[in-house]
Structure 1
Amino acid sequence: MKKKSLFKNPFYRFDSLNILLFFTAWGIWWSFFQIWLTNTLHFSGEQVGTIYSFNSAITLILMFVYGAIQDRLGLKRHLLIFCSVMEMLLGPFFTWLYAPLLHSSFYLGTFLGSLYLSFAFLAASPTFEAVTERISRRYRFEYGQARSWGSFGYAVSALLAGFLFTISPNLVFWLSSFIALLLFLLLIFIHPEKNQKMIDLYENKVENAKESSTASLKEIFGVFKMKALWQIIIYIIFSWTFYTVFDQQMFPQFFTQFFATKALGQQMYGVLNSVEVFLEAIMMACVPWLMKKIGVRKTLLVGITIMVIRIGGCGLVTNPLGVSCIKLLHAPETACFALGLFRYFTLHFDTKVSATLYMVGYQIAAQVGQIIFSTPLGDLRDHIGYSHTFLVISGITLIAGIYANFILKKDNVDVNGQPLSKD
């Protein structure tokens, strides 16, 4: 097939905008969620850990349900539309129900909040990613090139949120609802897959043949019998789990403590988070090229190495400039880790169940880890402080990296999915 300009591909344009709007709607409030819980609602590290554990527990179950449904739907967008409707309710939910209930009845509020957040965002995020990855294989564009627009949207919204949040946290929740409305309208009214001329021009016939039939329930549940998948799950629990606890549950408030006022700290965190995710967007576009040069396995090992350095470095450096520079390593770390793992699944496993594999092997495994470790690590932070807790987390991820070196398959071994083409 003759190579065409990427932006002429309507499937790339649609899915890039789709994932851009989702991550913009998510990032504008999620980037400040821990600060909102700690500085606005004044919860302790242990209580924040409990909230994250509840979120993970519900998301754990729902991710498998979402993954199984989407593998049955294939490229149909019914589930994405449902998620966008749920996302539109964020402003009313946070303003009038979630915050008051957390104060009046903490555990009831935590439970209801975890139900809503899981349905609307936490389980929806990997679903949007899985659909975009599947469409990228079907219609000839790199998944990372589309996913980078999600990071770009997250970066813009995080920068904006840093200023809006200091005016009123409710502003970011309501703006998220408005962006979700735009996403809903996009999913309802834009349909490049109905243009037969574009299908004939861009469709990958080989991938189309592979997915001519949807995954059966037997195939979906059969993923739990795969030894190689369980090895990956153990790896994720002791790596990505601890990264998530560090990055979402601890780092935001840790960083704001370096500044004279909470408002200034929140604004500077918004700027740092935005710069970081702008760099992540660039890396998301570059990592597919890196994988073709050095391979999927080596890309994953690069990601875990950066993770160890970044978390440990934040535990050693004691000034805001140094911490900011180390935090920016998040960009190559996340791109190598997330894109590398997604490509690992589509390389070594049947792509027909890619959404389920991604949910179970990556996202659900991370949620299991968060259920187990969020509250204990929050309690550990209360007792020994942020810096020492970061060093503990870095040590655990180092052990996970050593383990990964032994269990990750080479790129030319057990190629049961889409082979890796190298430049």
Structure 2
Amino acid sequence: MGNLLKAFSNPFYRTSSLEILLFFAGWGIWWSFFQIWLTTKQGFTGAQVGTIYTFGSAVALVLMFVYGSVQDKLGVKKNLLIFMVSCQVLLAPFFTWVYVPMLESNFYVGAMVGAVYLSVAYLAACPVFEAVTERLSRRYRFEYGQARAWGSLGYAISALTAGFLFTINPYLVFWTGSAVSAVLLAILVFLKPENSEANVQQYENREERNKDAKSPSLKEIISVFGILDLWKIIIFVILSWTFYTVFDQQMFPEFFTRFFATPEEGQQAYGVLNSVQVFLEFIMMSLVPILMRKIGVRRALLLGCLIMVCRISGCGIASTPLGIALIKLLHAPETALFVLAIFRYFTLHFDTRVSATLYMVGFQIAASVGGIIFSVPLGSLRDSIGYQHTFLLIAGIVLCATVYAFLILKKDDQDVAGQPLEN
């Protein structure tokens, strides 16, 4: 409790936590039901849903490198966040009057236009919010995991609310998303603790400030593509986190709702399950930094992979909604371990001045490449052999990725080129 009160006394922690909470709340209110909306309300097949996700991954892939490069040049400035959130405010008008009519008149054109908007406003924005929060945590002395946890809480509250709004009228989730984004935009524009000299004097880490002052050149940013160790991580992410994304976003929502008597009952149950799971993720995001200091970054990442294998394979074996729901809750420790450990791995073994670009390329873009490669084939496979057999296949691939990670991941005291671990 003492540590929590100390964290809240830091205005940079409070502001960053509120911003990331509202971002995930505004995204989760509709994104958690996007696959159900596409299949049950718009009537698309698994292959068509896979196409929509593939287009989104393709556009986000390019955009995330651009966003990462821009943010590394900006340092801790939030100009890019303000632009993205301004686009998020337009969510409901876009879905209501642009996206749905275009999908109905020409599916592929609509899917591409939707991919551009969703990537600009959300898919490529998420890692920027995380990267900015992580950079601020080093600059102004607070724990990144504790701040990121508030994003999970925001998503949990939204997922619970969305389950009920969606059954009343699906478009309510989009309009609520726009409203939350409008609040976030106002906070980004008007709430600036860095404008107070007293705040800066008390909380700023001058060593990190000096690092940020040496903004990386475009050549240094592009040079990350020449780092062999980064490519090893990219392969690992493609064969692991990609399948987490495909499983969770493209397949699990409708799979779970099929176990209920009516679609509405299933959608409400999924909303409750999703919110409970993400609330547990909120708790785990606060606890994992402590665990990571005990067992190390490498072991935390490997543990996250093993939990992923158990969760996905478990859903392929379980046959009751209660069993599947309990297995799904493993998502909480899995996500917290993987996301926090992979970010810390980059800041531990690589130059922190290009941390946003490294995170985009090595984690987010890698996952997008995997999404492009696997979304449509796995959607078609689901159409032909069913959900549960597809889940078992995915779990087998992630198990192979875990063995590969054990062989290629550096130990925590090996090649420390970034911020060393605390003793």
Class of the TM-score when normalised by the shorter of the 2 chains: over 0.9
- Cα deviation, residue 205, structure 1: 1.7
Q: Residue 140 of structure 1 corresponds to which residue in structure 2?
A: 141
Q: Residue 249 of structure 1 corresponds to which residue in structure 2?
A: 250
Q: Residue 373 of structure 1 corresponds to which residue in structure 2?
A: 374
**How big is each residue's C-alpha offset from its partner over 1:232-257, in whole Å with a ceiling of 9 and x where there is no partner?**
00000000001100000000000000
Q: Residue 268 of structure 2 corresponds to which residue in structure 1?
A: 267
Structure 2 residue matching 1:280: 3-state secondary structure: helix
**How big is each residue's C-alpha offset from its partner over 1:179-227, in whole Å with a ceiling of 9 and x where there is no partner?**
0000100010011011111111111122122222111101100100000
How far, CA to CA, are the matches of 2:13 and 2:412 in structure 1? 27
| Counterparts of residues 309-324 of structure 1 (less than 5 Å) | 309-324=310-325
Quickly say closer, same or farther: Cα 1:319–1:211, change in 2 above 3 A. Answer: same
Asked if 1:63 corresponds to 2:64, the answer is yes
Q: Residue 165 of structure 2 corresponds to which residue in structure 1?
A: 164
| Counterparts of residues 20-419 of structure 1 (less than 5 Å) | 20-419=21-420
Paired positions, count? 421
How far, CA to CA, are the matches of 2:286 and 2:104 in structure 1? 43
How far, CA to CA, are the matches of 2:5 and 2:308 in structure 1? 36
How far, CA to CA, are the matches of 1:8 and 1:112 in structure 2? 44
How far, CA to CA, are the matches of 2:377 and 2:61 in structure 1? 19
Structure 2 residue matching 1:174: 3-state secondary structure: helix
Structure 2 residue matching 1:211: 3-state secondary structure: helix
Structure 2 residue matching 1:374: 3-state secondary structure: helix
- Cα deviation, residue 3, structure 1: 11
How far, CA to CA, are the matches of 1:392 and 1:189 in structure 2? 49
| Paired AA for residue 357 in structure 1 | L
- Cα deviation, residue 274, structure 1: 0.1
How far, CA to CA, are the matches of 1:235 and 1:357 in structure 2? 14
How far, CA to CA, are the matches of 2:184 and 2:364 in structure 1? 23
- Cα deviation, residue 78, structure 1: 0.6
- Cα deviation, residue 45, structure 1: 0.3
How far, CA to CA, are the matches of 2:55 and 2:104 in structure 1? 16
Structure 2 residue matching 1:5: 3-state secondary structure: helix
How far, CA to CA, are the matches of 1:324 and 1:149 in structure 2? 23
**How big is each residue's C-alpha offset from its partner over 1:91-121, in whole Å with a ceiling of 9 and x where there is no partner?**
0000111112112100000000000000000
How far, CA to CA, are the matches of 2:4 and 2:11 in structure 1? 15
Cα RMSD, aligned residues only:
1.0
**How big is each residue's C-alpha offset from its partner over 1:42-79, in whole Å with a ceiling of 9 and x where there is no partner?**
10000000000000000000000000000011111110
TM-score by length of 2: 0.99
| Paired AA for residue 17 in structure 1 | L
**How big is each residue's C-alpha offset from its partner over 1:290-347, in whole Å with a ceiling of 9 and x where there is no partner?**
1111000000000000000000000000100000000000000000000000000000
How far, CA to CA, are the matches of 1:169 and 1:265 in structure 2? 14
How far, CA to CA, are the matches of 1:200 and 1:418 in structure 2? 22
How far, CA to CA, are the matches of 2:74 and 2:124 in structure 1? 16
How far, CA to CA, are the matches of 2:402 and 2:374 in structure 1? 18
- Cα deviation, residue 4, structure 1: 7.8
Structure 1 residue matching 2:76: 3-state secondary structure: coil
Quickly say closer, same or farther: Cα 1:239–1:40, change in 2 above 3 A. Answer: same
**How big is each residue's C-alpha offset from its partner over 1:329-378, in whole Å with a ceiling of 9 and x where there is no partner?**
00000000000000000000000000000000000000000000000000
How far, CA to CA, are the matches of 1:59 and 1:46 in structure 2? 20
How far, CA to CA, are the matches of 1:295 and 1:5 in structure 2? 24
How far, CA to CA, are the matches of 1:210 and 1:355 in structure 2? 14
How far, CA to CA, are the matches of 2:186 and 2:5 in structure 1? 28
| Paired AA for residue 26 in structure 1 | W
| Paired AA for residue 350 in structure 1 | D
Structure 1 residue matching 2:213: 3-state secondary structure: coil
How far, CA to CA, are the matches of 2:211 and 2:415 in structure 1? 17
How far, CA to CA, are the matches of 2:212 and 2:160 in structure 1? 40
How far, CA to CA, are the matches of 2:28 and 2:194 in structure 1? 28
How far, CA to CA, are the matches of 1:364 and 1:26 in structure 2? 19
